[in-house]
Structure 1
Amino acid sequence: MLTGDASAFVAFARALPADLGPACARGAFLVTPEGFALAAQSAEDNRYMDLSRRVDPQRALAQHRALQRALSETLPTVAFAGRADTPDAVFPNNVFATARVGGAGRAILGHMRHAVRRREAERADIVGFFRDVLGYALHDLRAQPGICELTGSLVIDRARGIGFCGLSERCDETGAAAMHAAFGLRATLMFALAPGEYHANVVMSALAGRALAIAPDGFADPAVPAALARLYPHTVTLSREEKTGFAGNCIALSETRVWMSEAAADALVPATRRAFEVAGFALATVPLDEIEKAGGSLRCCVGEIF
């Protein structure tokens, strides 16, 4: 099912068993902020960026190293060196993603809107890691006509095989259909993001197949988040302020822990913290405020290996 009807999607998805695969990744990959800078092209449609702010590349690199150390305590985490000509490469999950389709590993390359991001997919080392080292089949979406920025635009519940695709300048319906097929999903809901929002993973996150963190004001149609709240036993509703602090850009890398930036956690009110606890998640945080100047946060930094 590939649909824009939230009620029909929820009715279909609720009947699906959580048997398509593990809910959480078995590994993670990062790209370090070498030569860290703000990309003017990306700022055209990312309101979380402010080109007037100065960035400190060394501080960004130190925070990123701390992120890798912290994540490696939960799952194997590899890092590729960044390059100065790809300043947004610190957010690799938009360009590279993995899936298991029919039991086989698949590496997916996204079709990025901006040229500065499209250069990232040309890196032979990252592509070779998935294809030649892990033995994953390459599924290249760059030549198809739709724009699709992978797990930035598409939030996935891996256990059920369902996707939540936010439409914006960074993803259109053609791109959504291409991702639906590439990830081997059973059902995908397409919905318009609110004006000013660029990626679905900033306004929502599916957590270990049993909970949803969601910021209703990030959706153009309030009926969509209301419908999605019926899909899981636990829904963590985020306010505008919590979303602006990047609390929606969180990720569950285990059944019991949700990762987000230190600034995102600081934005949470007590009731929201309690909602994560009730859903069975402890919060794990690292400071990423230097990297967040580039318009993304912790989940954007993490590529998942399934």
Structure 2
Amino acid sequence: MNLVSIQAPAAVVMIRPHGFLPNPQTAADNTFQRTADEDAGAPPSVSAAARDEVTAAAQTLADAGVRVHVFDDHGECDTPDSVFPNNWFSTHAGGHIALYPMHSPNRRRERRSDVIDMLKNEYRVQDVIDYSGLEYDDVFLEGTGAMVLDHVARIAYTARSRRADPVALERFCTHFNFEPICFDTADAEGRPIYHTNVMMSVATEFAMVGLDLIADHRRRDEIARRLTETGRTVIALDQLQIANFAGNTLELSGKNGRVLALSRRAFDYLMPDQRATIERSARLLPLDVPTIELAGGSVRCMLAGIHLMPRRAQCVSNF
């Protein structure tokens, strides 16, 4: 197995929240979200549990050889979803960073200059392309939540939603040389999926996708064909697996090869043959994040992959 992969970054940014709470501004279209008092008690205990889950997850990733940059969010700016940084920025080979327009007003406050400054200091950054001004025109594209990027075939798979505006998507794809492949989705109740990355994950040698959620069968077949053409094995996930975050995973490069970061809940819903297919290419690395999953996102949402060249030899994680 080739240990080097442009699809699987060797470093990530994580945000450790101190004011975590399922976000009332995002609840309308995020059907994965649940209220905190339904599952985990009073908000202070929820926030503390989420903070501890990030700390433990970061340590597990570091132990696997992934470089982890952890930033604390003390909650002064009312940012209940800050634990999901992949929505407001992404990084790209060649030294590029993108900043994204966010749909919910309190999510726009998650953007922070110290994260970008760290990337400039630790990695080779050529430019930062800022799309956040599109918010003033009600145009949104929530990063690698709205898009699942195939860095090899240069495809941006995108489920249509109010968080993935075609104007912003076209601008991103033009700047970063991706082909947009858009599709409509529907869950068992006919509701669209709010973010592509809860139903789809593209790794180096496999892809996990909820094909049954793609409304048009011709588009469904085309997406499966495009993934297969790149040499990947397509792992079809059913709606129950998607509802339990089995599609919300991220492949990373560790010290002994690639790992697939996913939640313990997602891992438990994978079938034995699906696990076997994954482990031919990447070691499964389940992380315990039940509190964070209350907010309607899981492990992939927590990880902003760094596809940049380091300025110096990789050192220990900082958390």
TM class by shorter chain equals 0.7 to 0.9
* Aligned-residue offset at 1:218: 2.7
1:273 matched residue in structure 2 = 275
Q: In 2, distance between residues paired with 1:161 and 1:203?
A: 19
Of residues 71, 75, 85, the one that matches 1:80 is 71
Instruction: Provide the aligned C-alpha RMSD in A.
Output: 1.8
Q: Does 2:95 align with 1:93?
A: no
Please show how residues 206-217 of structure 1 align to structure 2 within 5 Å.
Answer: 206-208=202-204, 210-217=205-212
Does structure 2 conserve the Cα–Cα contact (< 8 Å) formed by 1:204 and 1:214? yes
For residues 193 and 203 of structure 2, the distance between their equivalents in structure 1, rounded to whole angstroms, comes to 21
Residue among 148, 166, 172 paired with 1:173: 166
Report deviation, 1:133.
5.0
Name the counterpart of 2:20: 36
Whole-Å Cα distance in 2 between the matches of residues 131 and 163 of structure 1?
Answer: 25
> Equivalent residues in 2 for 1:208-247 (5 A)?
208=204, 210-230=205-225, 231-232=227-228, 233-247=232-246
**Structure 1 residues 24 and 44, CA gap change in structure 2 (3 angstroms):** same
Q: Using the alignment, how far apart are the partners of 1:28 and 1:181 within structure 2?
A: 25
Q: Which residue identity lines up with residue 129 of structure 2 in the other structure? A: H
Quick check: 1:250–1:260 contact (8 Å CA) kept in 2?
Answer: yes
What is the Cα deviation at residue 131 of structure 1?
Answer: 4.0
Deviations 1:88-130 (A, max 9, x none): 0100000011112xx3x11211110110111112x22123223
Q: In 2, Cα distance between the equivalents of 1:206 and 1:170?
A: 20
Matched, 1:57 2:47: yes
- Tell me if structure 2 keeps the 8 A contact 1:131–1:138: no
- Aligned partners of 2:123 and 2:278: how far apart in 1? 34
Question: Is the contact made by 2:148 and 2:157 (CA closer than 8 Å) also made in structure 1?
Answer: yes
Greater relative contact order structure (CA < 8 Å, 6+ sep):
2
- Counting matched residue pairs gives 279
Does the CA contact (< 8 Å) of 1:92 and 1:302 recur in 2? yes
TM, length-normalised to structure 1: 0.85
1:10 alignment counterpart: none
Is the CA contact 1:245–1:267 (under 8 Å) kept in the aligned structure 2? yes
Distance 1:269 1:41, change over 3 A: same
Q: 2:105 aligns with which of 105, 115, 133?
A: 115
Q: Using structure 2 for the length normalisation, give the TM-score.
A: 0.82
Mark the runs of 5 or more structure 2 residues left unpaired by the alignment.
308-319
Question: 2:301 corresponds to which residue?
Answer: 300
